[in-house]
Amino acid sequence: TPQYLSARVVEQERMAQDTYRLRLECPEVAQVILPGQFFMVREPGVNDPLLGRPFALYDTCLDENGTAIGLDFGYVVVGKLTSRMTHWQPGDRVEIWGPLGNGFPYPGSGSLVMVAGGIGQTPFLATARQALGLRKYGQPEQTLSALPERVSLLYGARSKEYLAGLDDFQLEGLDVSVATDDGSYGHQGFVTELLQQQIESDSPPATVFCCGPEPMMEAVSRITSQAGISCWLSLETPMACGFGACFSCVAKVRISDDEWDYRRTCVEGPVFNAESLIF
């Protein structure tokens, strides 16, 4: 059964339309969590929902000595818990359990392209900082043996109002390209069109990480498979328990040429090799 820890709300900020960022003080989780992992958050004394909800790490925050003491995560207001979360104030105590899941693999030395749709950008701030050698994560702190020669973020959203955290992604060495459905910011069209352009450019990606709505991830999986590019998807499957007991979070995974099985996103994921997933 999960061991929830008490965490203090440090601050809350509106990032975009219906989208907020919360910062919790929780050194126990902040010092061990890796990019691409997630945690469950719940409100003490509230029985609906009884179990927490999963949120991906946006980034850790450090004290003046460089020790990770806090966690930032982004959320979109979609239900009861997230509606209540918008009222959480600095100093409030909430409950957190993590880190959970597997996180992204190490990208290697070739170019890394991260493809995000909507709130699917949240795993990529910590991932980018790690890939650029700007921050270490985990305990003992993990140093990548080779940094990717180039790191890019391709970020798609419905419109300008829904773009969250563009300022945060202004990192030294990170190329950011944006696509919006209505053309109110960046390229008008799908983020997958930006990916296709990168693949056809002089410096195609060696590795693609992707997180976003399922149709987008399916398209990214198809594009990278055709191009022979290694691709990892972080699934946003709804979860109930978060600890492998309820099977509400399963994904279909190919285990051989003619066999498939279910895998639990909360335990065996949320990051899967795109080649292994059956949509």
Residues that bind ligand FES (CB under 6 A): 239-242, 244-249, 264, 266
Residue 148 Cβ, how far from ligand FES at the closest point, in Å?
A: 31
The amino acid at 263: R
Q: Measured from the CB atom, is 162 or 272 closer to ligand FES?
A: 272
Q: Is 276 helix (H, G, I), strand (E, B) or coil?
A: helix
Cβ-proximal residues to 50 (8 Å cutoff; 6+ apart), any chain = none
Residue 250 Cβ, how far from ligand FES at the closest point, in Å?
A: 7
Q: Measured from the CB atom, is 36 or 107 closer to ligand FES?
A: 36
- CA dist., res. 148 & res. 138, Å (int): 19
Cβ-proximal residues to 208 (8 Å cutoff; 6+ apart), any chain = 112, 113, 114, 115, 195, 220, 224, 229, 230, 231, 232, 274
Residue 100 Cβ, how far from ligand FES at the closest point, in Å?
A: 9
How many residues can be counted in the chain?
Answer: 279
Taking the CA atoms of 252, 253, 258 and 259 in sequence, report the sign of the dihedral they define. negative
Q: Measured from the CB atom, is 237 or 273 closer to ligand FES?
A: 237
Q: Measured from the CB atom, is 37 or 180 closer to ligand FES?
A: 37
Q: Measured from the CB atom, is 247 or 260 closer to ligand FES?
A: 247
Residue 236 Cβ, how far from ligand FES at the closest point, in Å?
A: 13
Of 153, 249, 247, residue with least CA distance to 194 = 153
Residue 41 Cβ, how far from ligand FES at the closest point, in Å?
A: 14
